[in-house]
Amino acid sequence: MAEQNKDRVCVAQIGAPHGVRGEVRLWPFTEDPMALPDYGLLQSEDGAQQFRIETLRPAKDHLVARLQGVADRTAAERLKNLKLYVPRDRLPPPEADEFYHADLIGLPVFDTHGAQLGAVAAVHNFGAGDLLEVQPAAGGASVLLTFTQAVVPLVDLAAQRIVVDPPAGTFGEAEDETAPSPKEEQ
């Protein structure tokens, strides 16, 4: 798993160009997408490029942005898929029970009995709520867990740990033998 930079937070990703005058589609990762210009200069992941948002407007399922210094479609095309970051101190502190994804990635994940299940590899949202992608400690394919109070009862940033109560069998553990099998229920 890649080392996470906790001093900067990814706030958006540039998509395809929009039109021929240098505008870009922008996919925000912030609670208030229209606040992106308020964060000042946005930086590329490596810090080599900086961008200021000149204009920003909502579109169907994304934002359309004009970035200072990006004047045509060719320049906009070179930025496709570029992630944009801001220093953490420019962002408001999260509310209670809210977390920056950067704070969750890499945290060890334990079950409610204290056994380590793995570590958070990523946080996703495909439209129906946040999902934690957990890379199992035992190896194998990653597991997606709904980021709800029922499945993730504890996120303890101070202790650097997450406690989960996943559905039986999620991490390959044996199903509860006291539960009736589907044939027994019929």
pLDDT tens for each residue of 73-121: 999 999 999 999 999 888 888 888 888 888 899 999 999 999 999 999 9
Last residue of a domain, one of 89, 121, 141: 89
Q: How many domains does the chain have?
A: 2
Q: Which residue has the higher pLDDT, 170 or 179?
A: 170
Query: Which position has the token pair 């395809």?
Result: 16
pTM of the predicted structure, to 2 decimals:
0.70
Contacts 24+ apart (CB under 8 A), 170-173: 170/143, 170/145, 171/111, 171/117, 171/118, 171/136, 171/138, 171/143, 172/136, 172/138, 172/140
Q: Could you tell me if 117 and 160 lie in one domain?
A: yes
> For residues 102 and 8, what is the distance between their CA atoms, to the nearest angstrom?
8
Residue 3 lies inside a defined structural domain of this protein: no
> For residues 167 and 2, what is the distance between their CA atoms, to the nearest angstrom?
28
Range of the domain at 153: 101-164
Last residue of a domain, one of 47, 66, 89: 89
Tokens of 99: 């977390």
